[in-house]
Each structure stands twice: as structure tokens, then as C-alpha cells.
Amino acid sequence: MIINTWQELAKYLLQGLNMALQIGGETSYTNSFDIKVADKGVSFIPRLPASYLIDNILYQKLFLIMNAMLYPDYTLLKQSGAYFIPLDTDDIHVKRALFFPWVKGISKRLIITDIESFTARLALNQIPVMKNLTIDLNKVTSIAIAGNSGSGKSYALTYFLCVLKYSSKIVIVDPKFDMPSRWGRENNVLVIAPNASRSKSDFVSEVNSELSKALELIQQRQQVLYNNPTADFEHYTIVIDEVLALSDGVAKPIKDAFFSLLSQIALLGRASKVHLLLVSQRFDNNAIPISVREQLNVLIQVGNINSKTTQFLFPDLSLEGIVIPQGMGTGLIQVIDSEHPFQIVPLLTPTFNKLEGIM
């Protein structure tokens, strides 16, 4: 069967729901509900009063059935709860619908043969993540990349660094003295890393000093914005690899200062174009303060995806029905800004050529 129109697609979805939904014998044949399809997604229109509950449980059942039916032509965007929309009608029985926004196709990985020439050609402040997903740095507050060891988060971080260097000043904090340090060396970017002659508290104190400079920059730019709200600034991004390695096992006053500085930068940095890019195996309360986690608006989880690994970045997410790609550098991403809906979508991080001397 080849589907060419919205009406044919709606008929196909109705057939599947009539067979699988099982809501007390109610079907579209008994005029209990209908389906409408349009550019932005699918509407499930119940006829009320009904003998079944219109709630989150029903919404998730509908998602589960229709997302599988639409794959791979469309991807329904996962919601944390039932998404109601009003309908333009005077008929009180069908004045509302459960809405399922979608994107055309499925997530597709960017394959980059030469990362240097690719990033040099990009428009300023644009960060392509997948073939159908690009982030505007002007609308980013802070970015988080989470994943277990070997999940591909360092590889993803390398990609972000390569893209960001054309649009932002970068400062790197690298507790492991690993790949980010080598990337910083090759690209003349300031790197703060530990050495054998220093204690951990001394190292974190230096990190705090750099964060203080960023906070001072925010305050200076706020003064400029007070007098000139349209003033533009160069982006400034603080990259911290393995945040948990910084905050774990350090003296409490130094840790408290670290958390306080992170919180202030996350809360105040957006208008002044000062960003955080944080990488960690997990983002629990020992890694970053809750106030920082709440300000993150690009959330990336790579590697093993289950309720345990997603509990910190996506605490309200039910994974049921999401088709997660398999392989290295795969997972979930959520972009929270004015251009993207708040839904979580499957992620395939870009693949690019090996960088000699860095990777």
C-alpha cells in the first residue's frame, strides 16, 4: 500500500488503532474517536462523553502504536504528558484533541570526511548535530553531554569543540589531562589541567578563579546591556570535561565555591552570551547543583539508554515507544529553545575524520 495523502495516512492509523488500542470495545467504527493528520502532526479526536479515560495512560498507548506505524517515514516526538489542543468547532463533543507532533523521517547521522573544511564553511553560530537538527548558539544557555565510559561522549565533545571554535572564545577545564587538552594545544585554546605537583584542591581553586573571571565578564556585559539592550558580544564558552571528577572528593569550601560559581554563570550567562558546556558520566546532585541542571537547554545522553541513565537529564521521560538507534555515539537529545519543541528525539552524533595528534 502506497500512502499519498493525509486522508490515506489517517485511515491507515485508524486501522491500527482499531486493532490494537483496546479501550472497552470503543473504535472509530462506533464513532468513538477519529484521527486527523496535518503538517505538524497527528490529532486523536475523542468523541465525548466516552466510556474511556482521556489521560496520560491513553496518550502513551496512542504514542506507542502510532510511532511504530509511522516509522521510518515520520518520528513522533515524545511528550512527558498528555498534550491537548483545542479544535475550531462548535460541536462540544469534539472540541479537543490529543496532539502528537512529529518530524519527517528519522534521525540521520552526519558523515563528515574533513571536519576542518566542514566547520570552516558553517554559518556563524550554527551547530549541526544531525542532518535534520541544527542548534543556534545564540539561543543556547548551557549544554550537557552525559554517558558512561566508552559511550562516545568524548568524541561528541571533540565535534562540539571543532564547531564552536569559529563562533566562540573557548576555555577548557580538563581534569583528566586527556583529549580536550590535546585539542586545546593544537588550537591555541586555554586549558586548565592538573599536574603531579599540585593537590586536587589547588587545581579546583584555579578552576574557580577562571569561573570568577567569566562571572566578572557577565557582570561587565550586563552593564553594557543596561545602557544598550541591542549590544552584541562574542560568545564565551567554558568547557568542563568530567565535571564529577572536579566536584568529588574536594574540600567542602572549595566545592561550595565551585557550585556557586557554576550556578551564577548558568543563571546569568544567557543574555551576555556566556555558556557552559559540561561533560560527565552522570549529572546527579554531586556533579552539579540543581540550579545548573535546570538551566541546561541542550541535553545529550549517549551510550546505554535506560531509566537509570536518563534519570538526571530526563527525569520525567518514559522510554516506551522511542526507537533508539544502535551503535556508537547514539542516544537521546533535547533542545529547549524557541525554534524546537521541547520533545526528546533519538540522536546519532556526527562521524568525522580522525584528528592526528588529538584523537
Select from 73, 88, 104 the last residue of a domain: 104
Q: Is 12 exposed, middle or buried (0-12, 13-18, 19+ CB in 10 A)?
A: middle
Residue 199: the pLDDT is 85
In a domain, 1, yes or no: no
Residue 356: the pLDDT is 79
Residue 1: the pLDDT is 61
Q: CA-CA distances (angstroms) from residue 243 to 37, 136, 248?
A: 44, 24, 9
Task: Indicate if 84 and 206 belong to the same structural domain.
Answer: no
Task: Indicate if 231 and 322 belong to the same structural domain.
Answer: yes
In a domain, 357, yes or no: no
CA torsion angle for 8, 10, 11, 15 (degrees, to 10)?
Answer: 140
CATH number at residue 298: 3.40.50.300
Task: Indicate if 56 and 170 belong to the same structural domain.
Answer: no
Task: Indicate if 290 and 252 belong to the same structural domain.
Answer: yes
Residue 341: the pLDDT is 62
Domain extent, residue 140, equals 111-352
CA distance 99 to 85: 6
**Consecutive 10-residue runs of the chain (359 residues): their mean pLDDT?**
84 96 90 95 95 93 95 89 93 96 91 94 94 91 92 92 95 94 95 87 93 96 95 96 87 92 94 96 91 94 91 87 84 84 84 83
Select from 104, 138, 161 the last residue of a domain: 104
Task: Indicate if 149 and 72 belong to the same structural domain.
Answer: no
Task: Indicate if 119 and 80 belong to the same structural domain.
Answer: no
In a domain, 358, yes or no: no
Residue entry with cell 553531554? 145
Q: How many domains is the chain built from?
A: 2
Task: Indicate if 97 and 116 belong to the same structural domain.
Answer: no
Task: Indicate if 240 and 170 belong to the same structural domain.
Answer: yes
Residue 3: the pLDDT is 73
CATH number at residue 56: 3.30.980
| Helix 179-186 / helix 153-164 crossing angle, nearest 10 deg | 20
Residue 49: the pLDDT is 93
Task: Indicate if 12 and 69 belong to the same structural domain.
Answer: yes
CA distance 218 to 224: 10
Task: Indicate if 94 and 120 belong to the same structural domain.
Answer: no
Task: Indicate if 210 and 290 belong to the same structural domain.
Answer: yes
In a domain, 336, yes or no: yes
Task: Indicate if 162 and 185 belong to the same structural domain.
Answer: yes
* Contact (Cβ atoms closer than 8 angstroms) between residue 60 and residue 318: yes
Half-sphere exposure of 3 (CA within 13 A, CB side): 13
Residue 339: the pLDDT is 73
